[in-house]
Structure 1
Amino acid sequence: MAPVTEHATVRCTDAAGLADALDGAHVLFAFDFLSNALPHAWHAAGSLEWIHVASAGVDALMFPELRDSDVTVTNSRGVFDGAIAEYVLAQILSFVKDLPESLRLQRNRVWKHRESERITGRSVLVVGTGPIGRAIARLLTAVGMTVRGSGRRAREDDPDFGTVTATEDLPRAVAEADFVVAAAPLTEATRHLFDARIFAAMPPHARFVNVGRGELVHTADLVEALRSGTIAGAALDVFETEPLSDDHPLWEMPNVVITPHNSGDFIGWRDTLVDLFVDNFHRRLAGEPLRNVVDKQLGYVPGT
């Protein structure tokens, strides 16, 4: 942060000290993007002009007072795209090659010949056509998968997805997919988008991958869909409540892979986040447009 301290007084704080640190501050770098401390400290934000969030998702910050204010919000769009796309590919390969079973057999010293699936020609629906969804689409297309998108509006000429179906047509779209990847931002329109109705529309051999937000999914419905065989499996990096409680039924399901919200956390990601903030800080000093300005009513950067 040295390039910032040359031009500004920097205060570092935790959630408990946020109100005191906000007093008189013009800029907030919200590194803990899941913290809910800001609404409780908002009374001290009278001088605040700009918030930069160390995340692509800004749902944790979109409380009414901030939405209605003149404070500019920017996010860290672009930092995690490639890493998350690689994570999705890894999970798909793990499913089709049944790597978890291979590891179980290895631990038990069992030599058992098995056949595996191919990914070439398999169909993927990516729900969320922003930068992360597009990075996923490009990578999966490159390895021979057939990829379509689901977003706010339907179109047939998308450069990364080709065909994009509208969200209201999601039941029909998932019915044609071998893999469904959730990569949408969390908004009131997408909260619990994946519920019993959507899982029932998926083919019984389909797998579900969530790299968006846990609240995109009605978790109890997902558990039931996995338990009943409505869908074949799930790879989950995000959950409605994090960390996932140690008694949650998802832990014990053999057709589920759980990771602790780290699909985008490549080696060096923290430095990259700081570099993006520093770049935006210097843009602000120079009077240049900021990168990744969030539409606070939509809850994400327009055009994604």
Structure 2
Amino acid sequence: MVKLILPIELAAEIEPHLPSDTQFVRVDSDGNFDGDASDAEVYLNGFKLKPTTLHKVLAAAPGIRWQQTPSAGVNHILTPIFLQHDIILTNGAGVHAIPISEFVLTLILYHAKQLRQLQAAHDQRSWRKSWLVLPELANSTVLILGTGNIGQAIAARTKAFGARVWGGRRRPEPLPNFDKIVGTDEWHALLPEVDYVVVATPLTPETKGLIDEKVLRSLPSHAYLINVGRGAVVDESALTKALTEGWIAGAGLDTVSIEPLPPESSLWSLPNLFITPHTSAISPALKGRIANLFLDNLERYRAGQPLQNIVNKQAGY
């Protein structure tokens, strides 16, 4: 008999499909249970897991052997307390690829087709077209930093528009829809030729502050930066300077270092910065994908088979 801990926000998607010989307790976002979790060995955490909640669950259920998170990033889980436990950690890699890649394409088109300026002209009831120059994605160059499930889905969609697609990853290898993939530091040499930079990397000690002043100064002045990874991958002070002084044309951030972004943050006032509240992964299909991945892994776990999406806790992804 396997006992599970399920988050309240996903329980309805999962409970009807559980094997009859499993037991479960539900847990809310603050770590409060609706039953006894002391003998649970599997933990599916909820969205936006707080360290305090994680630690409360670990204390209440010392026998947890496997934890699955719906997020792709796991930097918020790899706390010193978590790392003291011998727990297999699996993530949600792949379940967010479709909505996030569509969102990236939206941001690229938003910038290329000057939708902000066109909306302003509409609001002013202006038919003046002399200022319009709307770049095409065809023959533009998109550099994607992070070529996992999300990066590959972004590549497929931008390639369909006729763009050149380059990728940067720790261990370069050929992948579909990428014209070129280079290693950890080699992508710096490509920056002067890039029109769009898309950040889709996990947050690790190596990627924190990856997009710094040197990177931003290396880009052409018409370049546009998009971050759908983690906020701390971008040096926001350097980005503010780059946008204010015109080193690059603009940026779209779906994630920032401090979330929620405080109303008094100076980032809100930059006219060439478009901020969205970490919404790129939200989709009506998301909960179903998370449930299907968990249920498949649960079947593997019970059968003693290798799990999908095992996280390398030392590497951080």
| TM-score, reference length from structure 2 | 0.88
Which blocks of at least 5 consecutive residues in structure 1 are unaligned? none
Specify the alignment match of 1:118 in structure 2.
136
Specify the alignment match of 1:29 in structure 2.
44
Offset of 1:276 from its aligned partner?
A: 1.9
Specify the alignment match of 1:66 in structure 2.
82
Report SS of the residue matched to 1:17.
Answer: coil
Q: Percent identity?
A: 35
Distance 1:248 1:65 in 2: 32
Report SS of the residue matched to 1:193.
Answer: coil
CA contact (8 A) 2:29 2:46 kept: no
Q: How many residues align?
A: 299
Report SS of the residue matched to 1:10.
Answer: strand
Specify the alignment match of 1:2 in structure 2.
16
The reply on whether 1:257 has 2:274 as its aligned counterpart is yes
The reply on whether 1:295 has 2:309 as its aligned counterpart is no
1:234-253 pair list within 5 angstroms = 234-253=251-270
Residues 3-32 of structure 1: CA deviation (Å, up to 9, x unaligned):
2373112222232437x9653321111112
The reply on whether 1:208 has 2:208 as its aligned counterpart is no
CA contact (8 A) 1:33 1:58 kept: no
Distance 1:189 1:22 in 2: 36
Report SS of the residue matched to 1:79.
Answer: coil
The reply on whether 1:46 has 2:46 as its aligned counterpart is no
Distance 1:32 1:128 in 2: 22
Offset of 1:291 from its aligned partner?
A: 1.4
CA contact (8 A) 1:38 1:61 kept: no
CA contact (8 A) 1:170 1:198 kept: no
Distance 1:176 1:21 in 2: 58
CA contact (8 A) 1:51 1:73 kept: yes
Report SS of the residue matched to 1:221.
Answer: helix
Specify the alignment match of 1:148 in structure 2.
166
More divergent stretch after superposition (25-34 vs 215-224): 25-34
Report SS of the residue matched to 2:32.
Answer: helix
Task: Give the root-mean-square deviation of aligned CA atoms.
Answer: 2.0
Offset of 1:188 from its aligned partner?
A: 0.7
Among 93, 99, 122, which residue is 1:106 paired with? 122
Residues 85-110 of structure 1: CA deviation (Å, up to 9, x unaligned):
11111111111110011111112222
Distance 1:165 1:235 in 2: 24
CA contact (8 A) 2:195 2:223 kept: yes
Offset of 1:191 from its aligned partner?
A: 0.8
| TM-score, reference length from structure 1 | 0.91
CA contact (8 A) 1:52 1:75 kept: yes
Change (3 A) 1:22 1:171: farther
Change (3 A) 1:50 1:252: same
Residues 56-113 of structure 1: CA deviation (Å, up to 9, x unaligned):
1111101234335321111111111122111111111111110011111112222221
CA contact (8 A) 1:12 1:21 kept: no
Which blocks of at least 5 consecutive residues in structure 2 are unaligned? 1-14
1:153-302 pair list within 5 angstroms = 153-155=171-173, 157-300=174-317
CA contact (8 A) 1:208 1:235 kept: yes
Offset of 1:214 from its aligned partner?
A: 0.5
Report SS of the residue matched to 1:8.
Answer: strand
Offset of 1:38 from its aligned partner?
A: 4.5
Report SS of the residue matched to 1:61.
Answer: coil
Report SS of the residue matched to 2:18.
Answer: helix
